[in-house]
Each structure stands twice: as C-alpha cells, then as structure tokens.
Structure 1
Amino acid sequence: MPGAVLLGRIARTAAPFVLMAVAWQIASLFFPPYLFPSLVAVFWRCLEILTHWSQLVDVLATVSRILAGLAGAFVIGAAMALAMARSKAVDGFLSPILTFFQGIPALSWVVFAIIWFHGIEFRIFFIMVLTTLPAFTFQVLGALRAMPKDLVEMVMSFRPSRAKIFRVMVLPSILPEILTAWKVNLGNASRVVVVAELVGATGGVGYQLLQQQQIFDMAGALAWTLQLVFFVLIVQYVLTLIETVAFRYRAVSERSL
C-alpha cells in the first residue's frame, strides 16, 4: 500500500511535466527548429554541455557565482538582523534602507555595478549580494522576533553561556526560516545572475544564452537554461534533506501523538 501511495504521488508530480513535454514535442513537428526544437535535440545539447569541459566550466562559473553571492548576502544579512533585533535604533535606521533596496530592480544594480566597478567577478558578487540581502535580513529578523518569550526566559534562568544559548535556543528557532530564505533566494539568485552575465560577463550561463540568441539556436538556449534548473533542483533537494535531518524530532513527536 505505501508503494502504491508513493507511485501515485510521483505520477501526480510528473504529470504536468509530461504534458508540457508532449505539447512541446508536438509543436516541434509543425514549427521550425529555431522556434520549437525537438526534445531529442535539446537532450543531446544538454549532454554535450555536461560532457565537454570547455562548456561545463561556464556552468560551474555561474554556480559558483550564485553560491558566493548567496553566502555573502546571508552572512551580512544575519549580522544585520541580529543587530536590528537587539537595538530599536539600528532597526529604525536599517529597515527603511533595506525596504528601499528591495524596490530597486536587478537590472538597475547591474548598470550601477558596471559603472562603479571594473572587475567582472566583483560586479556579479555585488549584484548578487544587493539583490538578495533584504530578503535574508528580514527573514532572519522575523525568525528572531518570533522566538517565544517564555522559552527565552526559561533558557536564560539556567544562566547558559552565549554559545549554548545560540546552539540550544536561537539556532533551532531560526533554522526553519533560514532554510526557507535560502530556498526562496536561490530561485531569485539564479535569475539575477543570468541578467548580470548577459550584460557584464565573458563567461557563464548568461553569456552562453546571449550567444545562442545571436545565432537563433533555441535548442542551445533551452539546454543552457536547463543547466540552471538542474542546479536549483539539486540544491533545493539538499536543503530539504538538511531540514528533514535537523527536524526529525518533529516526526517522532507527531507519531507519539
């Protein structure tokens, strides 16, 4: 019975993608390849990218830029959130700035970075940090403020060290929000990095997409896009595994009820 339930879930999840693939393949029979290429052609282009180092290096460059930008934004955002949670003055100063930054389009940050900075890698890092920083900061801040006051008072009554406070109380309370923030910002970062590479890079997935656009190679454009999709899905899966392991006690408590 559990096997049948699992197969049913897999079928429901896969059904929309199967329908999309069938619709695309049918369209490829009636339209030229530069509009709707065959999925077989797209598959072989994906395989070519993954098996040729000269092309795979562009995928790895984009992946490293995404991870570096997210890591930088998370570290800075967590530090800012902690300062804002501890001081109303800091919160009152930083909140309007972060809210203002949220309204600035990613393309504007790309233009600013090109004008301000010379190095390509620092430009992209700057863009990635500035576009994801507000979300990280506000989500960590919300998690810190959502900690139950009764729990805080109870833990503080034992006079624990700062390291123990963080390990026993703070980290378990904010970790769900941190993982959610990473999942949300991961998708945003994958879109922003493509824009940054389209305009100001000489390598990466965004740069390769620009090359495919110039020669009207739709199969290549889809293949390069799918590299980012695969990366996002893999990282999302890893984050889900971390969440499952970190909060396995929840499943135990639910079974006991």
Structure 2
Amino acid sequence: MKNARTIRGLQAAASMLALAAAWQILSWIFPHFLFPPVQDVIVRTIDVLTTGSLLADVLLTAARIFGGLLGAFVFGAILALVIGRSQTIENFVSPVLTFFQGIPALSWVVFAIIWFHGTEFRVLFIMVITTLPAFTFQILDAFRSMSKDLFEMTMSFRPSRWKLFCYLIVPTILPGIFTAWKVNLGNAARVVVVAELVGATGGVGYELMRQQQLFDMAGAMAWTLQLVLFVLVVQQAINMLEAWTLRYRAVSERAM
C-alpha cells in the first residue's frame, strides 16, 4: 500500500516537472509576455503568498468558496433527504434543479448583478446556485444506495427518527458527501473566478482581470497557481478526513 502511494506520488511529480519543462522550453521560443520563464512565475507566486495585501485577496476568495459550498451543501442535503422520501416532491423539484444545472455560471453572474446590490451577497448567491444541483443529486444518489435489507433490519429494532438518521442514514450517505465536496470544490473554484471577474472588487478573479489589463502573463499565472494550490490543499485535507472517517472500509478490505 505504501509502495503504491509512493509510486503514485513520484509519477505525479514527474508529470508536473514535465509540464514545467515544456513551459520553460516555450519561454525560450516565444516572447516572455506570452510564456514567462518558470522562475519568474515562481517568484511572483511567492510574492503573492508573502505580501499581506495580496494574500488577503487569496483568503477572500477561499472564504467565498467555503461559504458558497457550505450553503449549497446544507440546502442540497435537505433537498436530497426530502426528495428521497417523496416521489411527488422529486417530480416537481428535480426538473427545476436540472434546469438550473444547465444555466452557465456567467448567466448567473449577470442575473446576480441585476438582482442584488451587495458584492458579497452576489458572489454567495452565484456559488450556492451553481453548486446546489450537484450536491443535491450526489447526496440523493448516496441516499438511494442504502441497502433495503439493512434498512428493514434497522427498522425491526423500532429506532427513533434521530437514531435512524445517526446510525443508518448518515453512515450511508457519508461517502457520497465526501465525493460531492471533492467534485464541487473544483467547480466552485472555477465559478468563483467568473463571479469575481465580473461582479467583485477583490479576490483572485479580480486580480486576474487586473493582470489581463496589464498584459502581465507571469502575474496571471501566479494568481492562477494560488487557486490551484488552494484546491489541492483542501482536496488533500478532504481525502485525509475521508480516510479517517471511513477507516472501517480499509479494515474490511484487509479482512477480505
């Protein structure tokens, strides 16, 4: 198991080094305003991380991502549990969620600018509405994967609703919740940039727009890497939490 993880880590590092090498070769062929050298991008990235005013923009974007995902998760979980208990409600709600899922993020940005005044509320609305359908459908699928035999056996003990929720429903949907967070984290990172490009006065998306106006490719890459690093760190944290929470699965796999 450890050897497999080491091999995967080495392969991932090799692929990223190959990508950096290809970028560096392009910087030798093309002008630096198109493909800045890797060392310039690294220096600019470190500058953002070590400059308080610039790091504040990164943290602002991170807060917007977490706020939007948390709101979408709470509403999505409630909707999924309600839909899972009523076919009639599903017939009404699912088409609406599917319709919302088909609306581009940029359209929601335009709607939010027209409907609302506050910048933070605009961004929060966009983040919630664009990730809500995915959270709902993913948690609903996890809820429906519950074993009928296990459900009937649990009901034979006449548990209270709270015990049924804690001891059967939550363990059943927990793997789906972790998957939903990992999938929606990447989606939220892309959406928040669009929202900040158009409707915000701070954050990574806003800074990317400034770099575009300055025609500063090294700066644009540095700010993009801030978002990529944030997603990688948070995804790794989710993976660690998932491995710890669902550690019983590793025990059962070894037993088999």
Change (3 A) 1:164 1:214: same
C-alpha distance in 2, partners of 1:174/1:6?
27
Task: State the Cα deviation string for residues 23-59 of structure 1 (Å, max 9, x = none).
Answer: 1111112221110111111111111111111100100
Letter in 2 for 1:239: I
C-alpha distance in 1, partners of 2:4/2:139?
36
Unaligned runs of 5+ in 1: none
> For 1:1-257, what aligned pairs fall within 5 Å after superposition?
6-257=5-256
C-alpha distance in 2, partners of 1:190/1:3?
31
C-alpha distance in 1, partners of 2:5/2:142?
33
Letter in 2 for 1:62: T
Letter in 2 for 1:149: K
* TM-aligned CA deviation for residue 249 of structure 1: 1.2
C-alpha distance in 2, partners of 1:3/1:125?
40
Unaligned runs of 5+ in 2: none
* TM-aligned CA deviation for residue 9 of structure 1: 2.7
How many residues are paired up? 256
Structural RMSD (CA): 1.3
Change (3 A) 1:69 1:7: closer
C-alpha distance in 2, partners of 1:145/1:121?
35
* TM-aligned CA deviation for residue 161 of structure 1: 2.2
C-alpha distance in 2, partners of 1:129/1:69?
5
Task: State the Cα deviation string for residues 40-91 of structure 1 (Å, max 9, x = none).
Answer: 1111111111111110010011000000000000101111111111111111
Matched position secondary structure for 2:242:
helix
C-alpha distance in 1, partners of 2:19/2:50?
26
TM-score (normalizing by structure 2): 0.97
Change (3 A) 1:153 1:6: closer
* TM-aligned CA deviation for residue 12 of structure 1: 1.5
C-alpha distance in 2, partners of 1:89/1:121?
35
* TM-aligned CA deviation for residue 10 of structure 1: 2.3
Change (3 A) 1:3 1:253: closer
C-alpha distance in 1, partners of 2:98/2:212?
35
TM-score (normalizing by structure 1): 0.96
